[in-house]
Chain A
Amino acid sequence: MRWPLIRYIPRSTHYRFVRWAPVAAVISAVLLVASIGLLVVQGLNLGIDFKGGVALEVQMSRPAPLAQLRTTLDQIGAHDGQVQGFGSPNSAMVKFLPAKGEKPSDASKHVETELVKRFPDLKVTSRSEVGAKVSGELLLSGFKALGVALLLTLGYIWFRFGLSYGTGAVVAVIHDIVLTLGLLSIMRIEFSMTEIAALLTVIGYSMNEKVITFDRLKENLRKYKTTPLRDIIDLSENERLSRTIITGTTALLALGGTMIFGGPVLFPLVFTMIFGIIIGTYSSIYIALPMILIWGVKRNDDEATPIKLGAASRP
């Protein structure tokens, strides 16, 4: 084996990325429609951050009897009760809504007393009680944050590269977010405040990818003035390939450990980020660039003299 491994990645590749764009477009369109359908039909599994209510993390000295906890919860009149395993087998997450007019804090106290009465070894290790007012505001501000992030990054890319690039990037990032939301919906992953942070990180990472793609594209557009746009896109992607592979692998390796060892609190966050990294890389190549191809770009910069492609593929 030769070392460093980077030598295994060929110096120049000639994959025809653009040729697969129509196929990718169909796949993306299907996934988008499916995601939106899912979001409309079953929606997101809103956590108490956004729905209000009470979440108790409980720990027992034996494996938590989830079914028993569930029936108990119903018996003591907790509204919309849910019990899930949470991390270790001895822990469980108990969630419920307070009855109409009841304060979440009173409901929480009542349920805790009843649970401890019936399961003497049960201990509440973490407790969250969110009122309906705050939860509504949190949801609103969460989506506002996503919107503002999109607009600002659109503004930045527009300013740096031009409008068609900005539009391509934003369409691609919206694609990423909708697919991520669709995944969260189908996997019933709880949508909480940290998920908003995860989505913002996905926006950040995905925008990163687009910016780096565009940087290379713009540079090549200046170098090869007469080459068709689709060939330049292919060339830029091939040049960028080894970086994409290495950075992607690094990010996945780094977060993979956290997904396995980070426990149930970090899992949804990291899972979303990992999915976002994959989808963000994909959408840079198959959404953002084809968008630019369709939209077209101005190519009348006079900074570089035209060089014929093929004479030296990399000057």
Chain B
Amino acid sequence: MLTLSRWKIIAVTLSVIFGILFSLPNVLPQKTLDAMPGWLPHQKLNLGLDLQGGSYLLYEVDTDALHRERLSNLMEDTRTQLRGEQIPFGELAQQGEVISVRIGDASRYDAALNLLRKNLGAPLAGVIGGKDVTVSGKGDNRIEVTFVPEAQRADAAKAVDQSIETVRRRIDSLGTKEPSINRQGTNRIMIQAAGESDPEKLRAVIGKTAKLTFQMVDDSVTAEDVQAGRLPPGTMVAQSEDQYAPYYVLKKRALVSGEDLTNASQTFDQNGRPAVAFAFNGLGAKKFGDATARNIGRKFAIVLDNKVISAPVINSALPGGSGIITGNFTAESANELALLLRSGALPAPLNIEDQRTVTAELGADAVKAGSISLAIGAASMFVFVILAYGLFGGFAAIALVVNVLMIVGIMSMTQATLTFPGIAGLILTLAVAVDANVLIYERMRDEANAGRTPMAAADHGYKLALTSILDANITSLISGLIMFSFGSGPVKGFAWTLVIGVFTSLFTAIFITQVLIGWWFKTTKPKKLPIA
């Protein structure tokens, strides 16, 4: 094994060059780095949020709320359809997952059934009937409408995708530097933003659903009725944020919603107070124009996340498809609302589940503590291994240096995240790498003591220690991979460092020392092993 084959020397030389080249950007000043030719590696270690400061936010998409809303819309659709054809009905109600209605005129029962089958629901691929709702006739002139089970899953998946898109647009419009936005599990969104980003600001724009609707106000309902909970069918009570009324009674069906907006920006109203200007797309403009034309003299409400921002009286039809929203705005809150409207509403509410923030100063402290620990750990290992094994210890120390270079190089190249616990993982990896050399050297001593020539003892040392080294590294690899698949954030970083370390340690502890010892045998022709 100690014969200096050409490929071994080439492999070792290449790995050393690789390690130096790819870890170099981490120590060069930025100016030198910018001046370097483009083909040289420029990537530095990708420090975790705990080392460079930043925010980690984990949101859960509330798909149950979405489903509840869809069911309530289905009920309103059923009502609108039957009314539109003037089919008498009663006992329209939601029972769990099912919308149930009783047709008043038995002779029109079949017509009602066909009408609802034709017009309710949306196409959905891959289910029987091709639609996301089933309409079934029951006895006693009853009809039941319900979503197919697949619909709920498809809705939830779509909602999470849309949420990720929306969140991305919102964060981008804040100007956050390189945010990472990922799905986690089925219905979670993980957001990581490095550096100086303000977590409060991030949260303010991410957490709001920003569901904007324009709904008619129902002025016919008296305060007593509201108190007693006697609301006409198809209406709802919404809290108000304007100064005129504590709440409004609204028609549930929205005239137009935020989905039809094309633009929104902060502006000022005629009194110079901050407001939000908006513009509808063609469809939205038509819907809004028609509705205002039909309802001149009545009030409509601008509703954001089920709260009424303002409820102006319609003075004339508004066919232009643009307008302004006034309300209790400051310039900042108007700006924020405009941003939210531009980037679109979230399909479902987002609930924050986990948030971690580290300031940049604290991160810098962690980098300092980590570097000192690493330097001291490595230095004491060098000294100890050289004291223990002399020249061969020196070879092991050289292998250790190359090991560090390779780990740093690979982590810079792959942009794997180095976290604070990862530094501890790195130090432990180095200790285990030394173990491989210790196993080899102890074998050599055994073999030399048993009477082998130095060359044969050294050779057998490598051969016989190899299985132990492999076994040991495979168990390390197993625990590293498990950490990687189960852990999150800092733990993942720790695991990744361990896994990379297993491979580089195997390589450096075995090959680098082998080449060095082989070369030493060749040049000095020793009669005795220095460690025997």
A residues near B (Cβ < 8 Å) are 3-6, 11-12, 57, 59, 103-105, 109, 123-131, 133-134, 138, 141-142, 144-145, 148-149, 152-153, 156-157, 160, 193-194, 196-197, 200-201, 203-205, 207-208, 211-212, 215-216, 239-240, 242-243, 246-247, 249-251, 253-258, 261-263, 265-266, 269-270, 273, 312, 314-315
Contact = CB atoms under 8 A, between A and B. Distances in A.
B52 to A, nearest CB: 13
B424 A144 contact: no
B431 A4 contact: no
Interface in B372-397: 372-374, 376-378, 380-381, 384-393
A138 B380 contact: no
B356 A250 contact: no
B495 interface: yes
B398 to A, nearest CB: 16
B432 A156 contact: no
B331 interface: no
A208 B476 contact: yes
B482 A4 contact: no
Interface in B425-449: 425, 427-428, 430-432, 434-435, 438-439, 441-442, 445-446, 449
B420 interface: yes
A269 to B, nearest CB: 5
B357 to A, nearest CB: 4
A271 B424 CA distance: 11
A266 B371 CA distance: 12
Contacts of B385: 250
A253 B381 contact: yes
Given A145-B482, A266-B420, A314-B450, A133 B60 contact: yes
A193 B494 CA distance: 11
Contact of B384 (A157, A207, A249): A249
Contact of B434 (A197, A247, A273): A247
Contacts of B289: none
24 contacts: A4-B530, A104-B355, A124-B359, A125-B362, A127-B356, A128-B356, A129-B356, A134-B354, A193-B487, A193-B489, A197-B483, A197-B490, A208-B475, A211-B468, A212-B468, A239-B446, A243-B438, A254-B430, A258-B376, A258-B423, A262-B370, A265-B420, A266-B370, A315-B450
A59 B418 CA distance: 25
B472 interface: yes
Nearest to B376: A257
A273 B373 CA distance: 15
B254 interface: no
A125 B494 CA distance: 23
A196 B434 CA distance: 25
Interface in B351-370: 351-359, 361-362, 365-366, 369-370
A247 B388 contact: no
B174 interface: no
A193 B384 contact: no
Contacts of B431: 247, 250-251, 254-255
